[in-house]
Amino acid sequence: MSGSVRRSGYASSRYTAHSNSRMEPPKEPPKTSSKDVNPESYGSREKRKERSKQSNRHDESSKDSSKNESPNLLKAEPNVDNEELFAGLAWQRQCDEKPDIDTLTNSLLQMYNDITSGVEGALENTELMDRIFLTALRVKARTESQMNACFWRMLSTVRYGNHLVLKHRSIELNLPRADAAYITTCKDYRRTTAYNEHYEKLSKVVTKIPSIKQLNDTIEEMTEKRDKIMANIHECSKQIAECKSQIEMACKDIGIENN
């Protein structure tokens, strides 16, 4: 009811608004004369043109000044040694490649041997000392990370071993219980099931067993097949003996001819 009332009220309001719009004529916009408009408030066309011309002139003058001004850029020297730059890039690449601890330790030992062997200017070379410091830090960080990883792996293996021990104990405790429960369920099933089901199963099995006549027929067929097979075997043995004798005679003849 409330929905119908609301719809009716909405329809009535729309109808009244539409009817009022039809009844009342549209209002004309107020007419304004050129005398009422103040040209100073909006600006005349001549002033606008002058402003645009001045702005264009200013832009052109700024462009010309920017073209005439020479930029203060640094020019590269013609003869520059890029060996230091290449060495720095190679060192950065070596650091970015993240080598193993073996390579890091070998490089660290090599640099340490350069210092201890008494190379001239080795101690004064700040780059070499910086490299030694950086490689030592990298070796330390890598060893710490690997030690932490090994620690957490060992801890996880220990936890997994404890978990397996608990599983083994639970299985040892629950297996005999499960066996006893299964045996009791089987006994209950035997008691609850009726004997008719067992008799039906036995009757189905008995009906599938062939009769005595069928058994006699099958026995006769099997004996006939056996006799045929034995006859074939006897004939094959005779043929083999004949072939053997022929082969022996041929071998004797060949031996006499050779002599």
The pLDDT confidence band at residue 158, using thresholds 50, 70 and 90, is very high
Residue position matching structure tokens 């009535």: 12
Question: Residue 194 above 70 pLDDT?
Answer: no
Q: Six-digit token pair at 62?
A: 């700024």
pTM of the model: 0.31
pLDDT for 13 equals 45
Q: Residue 138 to residues 94, 103, 123, 134, 186: CA-CA distances in angstroms?
A: 12, 11, 21, 6, 69
Q: Six-digit token pair at 116?
A: 């201890």
* Farthest-apart Cα atoms in the chain, separation: 157
Condensed to tens digits (0 to 9), the pLDDT of residues 47-97 reads: 666 777 677 666 666 555 554 444 454 555 555 566 666 666 666 665 555
- Distance, CA of 137 to CA of 101 (rounded, Å): 12
For 208-228, what is the mean pLDDT? 83
Question: Residue 148 above 50 pLDDT?
Answer: yes
pLDDT for 104 equals 75
For 138-166, what is the mean pLDDT? 90
- Say if residues 142 and 101 touch (Cβ distance below 8 Å): yes
- Say if residues 104 and 138 touch (Cβ distance below 8 Å): yes
C-alpha closest to that of 20 among 9, 12, 30:
12
Q: Six-digit token pair at 158?
A: 């220990």
Q: Which residue has the higher pLDDT, 193 or 48?
A: 193
Q: What is the DSSP letter of 120?
A: T
pLDDT for 143 equals 84
Most confident of the following: 26-35, 71-80, 108-117, 183-192: 183-192
Q: What is the mean pLDDT of the chain?
A: 71
Q: What is the DSSP letter of 256?
A: H
Question: Residue 222 above 60 pLDDT?
Answer: yes
Q: Where are the strands (E) in the chain, listed by range?
A: none
pLDDT for 42 equals 44
Q: Residue 58 to residues 3, 63, 90, 233, 258: CA-CA distances in angstroms?
A: 70, 9, 53, 125, 131
